[in-house]
Structure 1
Amino acid sequence: MFCCLGSQFAHAQTTDSSTSAKSTSDKTELKYNLNESGSHFFKATFLNQTWLRFNQSNPGTTVVGDPKDNTFDIGLRRTRIQLFGQLNDRVLLYFQFGMNNFNFLNASPGFNTTGTISNRKIQAFFHDAVAEYLVFKDKDYLKIGGGLTIVNGLSRFTQPGVSNIMSMDVPVFAQATVDQTDEFARKLSIYARGQVGPFDYRVAISDPFPIQTNGAAPPALGPNASFALKGHTKQFQGMLLYSFFDKESNQTPGYMTGTYLGKKKILNLEAGLISQKKAVWYTGATASDTVYHPMNLWSVAAFLDMPTNTANGTAINAYLGYFNLDYGRNYLRYNGLMNPASGTTQAVGGLGGTQGNAFPMFGTGSVIYSQVGYLFRQNLLGGNGTLMPYAQAQIGTYDRVNGSVGVYNVGLNWLIRGHNSKITLDYQNRPYYIALPATGKLEEQGRRGQLVLQYQVFI
């Protein structure tokens, strides 16, 4: 049966007129048509992102109990399988299964050196499981869906399509509650989304997970805000986008494209928000006085992705966004992507996870994020594809940090076959901190770097 199904996938025709005439030897997707026209189909995609990384460690970093000034590690940033399809004129079914941040430490929140039993074979899980109904036949005006989904408010980078991002990685701060009250940015939600003229919208009501279920010990109630351990409230979110030229892809629920590599002419303005009552708590006038506080996050941004010369295939990608983030009084959280370190001897201000490549990523305050990239002409390297250099800047101003938190990346994509086969070299420069005894605020003490070579395969 599996052999037969594989054969059907391999020989299924695509509905894209630009590729429908290609021979089966030049297939670019695994797709099984459910009707003759191909408008009803079921499709599979596979993604793997492998990292080779050298990192200058934050002060005090330890790796399995040993102090380390720097580390070299090999890991899988993302390994994913998507299964989705338009089952009939109105119903879409979407699943995504996979794992993230799998290195020698397995990025386990419970990792320790005391001999306590752990299990490196529990990483893979369902990221998405969504059913969606198209209300108006053949029109994208209104789609209603529900399940475990990345459909979010706030911004395009709160729901990024990671297989087609322009830079090596996304600005994770925009996935505002990632692995705190969600499942790797996914939430149990009901939503409505659609496109009406130049407007693209999405609204959702989400049922956030309790912080106690994220696999790590939650912080104790104290004078600085943290996600509340008591009570449960729903989360409301929405996003509105205005397109000046081409409309964006709207097929899969939520996911927004990072770059179309010059295949579309995109200029968008967007605004988004996430709001939840009593999401966080902290102590008030006395240690026994508990104050509950809402989480209110909003952003505005502009996104550009368009060809500069259609004849040779050059293109530009740019984004500029402002994020206003209220998680409650002095909320601050460190995060390091696929952190290569397991502990620290120099905890910063009572905050967890400050070792390795971590920096203050989430906090009450504001963030300005920008990126720009340029796609060189197609076949710049002959039959070996082309190049796309880029730069990113993330500048956060948080209530609990003196000065700004500036994190900068520069990189180069070697697009061997577009997003299907690409190698990215990325350098990141980030700050590290100490906590001032008098105020408890964080003060920058220096900077560290990280160099990553990523190979992405996507089909």
Structure 2
Amino acid sequence: MRKIKILLFSIFMLSFQFSFSQGSPDYKGGFKIKFNDDGSKYLRVISWGQFQAVYNDDVPDNTSNLSFNVRRARVLLLSQITKKFLLVTHFGLNGLNSANLHPVGKGDGNQIFMHGIWGQWNLNDNHTVGGGLHYWNGISRLNNQSTLNGLTLDNNRQSWATIGLSDQFARHLGFFVKGKFNNFKYQLAINDAIVNGLDMRNPENGGAAVYGGKRILGSKDAGFAYAGYFEYNFLDQESNTLPYKVGTYLGTKKVFNIGAGFFSHPKGAVVANSSGKMEGENVSILAVDAYYDAPLNDDGSAISAYATYQSNDYGKNYMYSAYGTGSMLYAHVGYLFSGDVKKARYQPYMSYGTNSYDAIDDNRNVFGLGANMFLSGHNSKFTLEYKNQKFGDNNSTGTVTLQAMIYL
């Protein structure tokens, strides 16, 4: 383990010596094809890839501790003919590795799928309605997190609180409304919950809840889920044209926001009483959070900080994968060192999350320590992160990940 950590750290430090120019003078907002002089009719293409080398100290004896994978490969298209409406199309794949590769590329694990496809109609300059397979989620900032500009290597897993349970990879099929009143921003959605989610268990008599309300009880009783997130921007205003929340602005903005959100799925969970009768239980998730991101001096140094508390009610003693009825407290903080924007810049960070569950006495505690190296802002960066997870009496699990990302 120690030798692998030293090797990965050496690779990371060596890359510092061969840094490319910072600033991306040719980027200027990405690949945008304008169809008129004022740019109101356009097609914008955003593409990105994240490539990882991962060392895991908790694997079976016959399995290598080191693996390589494509964490994400995505394409996002923004299409607009008039400022009155916008079409967003998002497709790609996730987690491509040697276990799910296929000899001729036909396996389930390596297939591109639709992450999102929705239309937005602007009622006026400040308020919008839309519908489709969308990412206008509720609960918290991290439940709406972009994967392009995060502070940490990846999003806090438990903050994507409904992924695969009521949605398709954190995207719901439904309608939304979003907008702002001066510094106050809001987004609300009504969604048609997924029928066949990840939790395909059936309830046991007198046992814990199962997240399968629509599958077991039917769409009449458990068809729809409701979500919302509200925030107040005290300092610089953040854009809400798209739902993807920025993780760190690298000192280009001075932002302080507080927020609160919810997710409600009536009868989304199911329990079986002592006689075996199926009964629906409401799923209710609530959160409050705060985000601060600001330059510290004129030398380019900056701080990024975030904290959230989340109350999770998935039904009686619910436990499945990373999710369970209980509560979560999570925070992270990062410091961007001063430096020339035309050269590589460095940003160490740390994160900590603790999750409690009604079903058991033990907590899940996750600690992360890492650093970003920006070759061209978020458009080209390397991230090295150590993450340690301890769950109850189980041995702690440590992973070291080196990730390279290009975003255009």
TM-score grouping bracket, smaller chain normalisation: 0.7 to 0.9
Q: Which whole-Å CA distance do the structure 1 matches of 2:24 and 2:93 have between them?
A: 33
Residue matched to 1:96: 90
Question: Which letter maps to 1:42?
Answer: L
Residue matched to 2:337: 376
Q: Which whole-Å CA distance do the structure 2 matches of 1:187 and 1:154 have between them?
A: 14
Residue matched to 1:451: 400
Residue matched to 2:208: 224
Question: Which letter maps to 2:116?
Answer: D
How far residue 69 of structure 1 moved from its aligned partner, in angstroms, is 7.0
Q: Which whole-Å CA distance do the structure 2 matches of 1:23 and 1:70 have between them?
A: 38
Residue matched to 1:391: 350
Residue matched to 1:115: none
Question: Which letter maps to 1:317?
Answer: S
Q: Which whole-Å CA distance do the structure 2 matches of 1:269 and 1:249 have between them?
A: 15
Matched, 1:303 2:291: yes
Residue matched to 1:131: 119
How far residue 164 of structure 1 moved from its aligned partner, in angstroms, is 0.7
Relative distance call for 1:28 and 1:447 in structure 2 (3 A) is same
* Residues 294-341 of structure 1 deviation map (CA, whole Å, 9 limit, x = unaligned): 1000000111111111x221111101110000001111122xxxxxxx
Relative distance call for 1:107 and 1:260 in structure 2 (3 A) is farther
Instruction: Using the aligned pairs only, state the percent identity.
Output: 30
Residue matched to 1:365: 326
How far residue 85 of structure 1 moved from its aligned partner, in angstroms, is 2.9
Give the RMSD, CA atoms, in angstroms: 2.1
Are 1:155 and 1:239, in contact at CA under 8 Å, matched by a contact in 2? Answer: yes
Matched, 1:168 2:156: no
Pick the aligned partner of 2:378 from 391, 409, 419: 419
Residue matched to 2:20: none
Q: Which whole-Å CA distance do the structure 2 matches of 1:269 and 1:217 have between them?
A: 33
Q: When the two structures are superposed, what TM-score results if normalisation uses the length of structure 1?
A: 0.78
Q: Secondary structure at the match of 2:394?
A: strand
* Residues 177-203 of structure 1 deviation map (CA, whole Å, 9 limit, x = unaligned): 212221110010100001210101000
* Residues 45-79 of structure 1 deviation map (CA, whole Å, 9 limit, x = unaligned): 1110001000011xxx54xxxx4476211001111
**Runs of 4+ with >6 A deviation:** none
Q: Which whole-Å CA distance do the structure 2 matches of 1:399 and 1:145 have between them?
A: 37
Pick the aligned partner of 1:155 from 114, 134, 140: 140
Task: Map 1:55-454 to 2 at 5 A.
Answer: 55-57=56-58, 62=60, 67-68=61-62, 71-106=65-100, 119-120=107-108, 122-136=110-124, 139-140=125-126, 142-210=127-195, 212=196, 214=197, 218-222=200-204, 223-228=207-212, 229-230=215-216, 231-232=218-219, 233-252=223-242, 254-286=243-275, 288-309=276-297, 311-334=298-321, 361-379=322-340, 383-432=342-391, 443-454=392-403
Q: Which whole-Å CA distance do the structure 2 matches of 1:42 and 1:144 have between them?
A: 21
Relative distance call for 1:390 and 1:25 in structure 2 (3 A) is closer
Q: Secondary structure at the match of 1:413?
A: strand
Residue matched to 2:3: none
Residue matched to 1:346: none
Q: Which whole-Å CA distance do the structure 1 matches of 2:239 and 2:199 have between them?
A: 40
Question: Which letter maps to 1:447?
Answer: S
Relative distance call for 1:73 and 1:285 in structure 2 (3 A) is same
Question: Which letter maps to 1:321?
Answer: T
Relative distance call for 1:163 and 1:26 in structure 2 (3 A) is closer
Are 2:141 and 2:289, in contact at CA under 8 Å, matched by a contact in 1? Answer: no
Q: Which whole-Å CA distance do the structure 2 matches of 1:243 and 1:451 have between them?
A: 35
Question: Which letter maps to 2:364?
Answer: V
Q: Secondary structure at the match of 1:162?
A: coil
* Residues 276-305 of structure 1 deviation map (CA, whole Å, 9 limit, x = unaligned): 11101122233x132210100000011111
Question: Which letter maps to 1:155?
Answer: S
Unaligned runs of 5+ in 2: 1-22
Q: Which whole-Å CA distance do the structure 2 matches of 1:256 and 1:299 have between them?
A: 16
Q: Secondary structure at the match of 2:393?
A: strand
Q: Secondary structure at the match of 1:317?
A: strand
Unaligned runs of 5+ in 1: 1-21, 109-117, 335-360, 433-442
* Residues 390-431 of structure 1 deviation map (CA, whole Å, 9 limit, x = unaligned): 111110111123232110101000011100000000000002
How far residue 388 of structure 1 moved from its aligned partner, in angstroms, is 0.5
Q: Secondary structure at the match of 2:377?
A: strand
Q: Secondary structure at the match of 1:227?
A: coil
Q: Which whole-Å CA distance do the structure 1 matches of 2:151 and 2:28 have between them?
A: 24
Q: When the two structures are superposed, what TM-score results if normalisation uses the length of structure 2?
A: 0.87
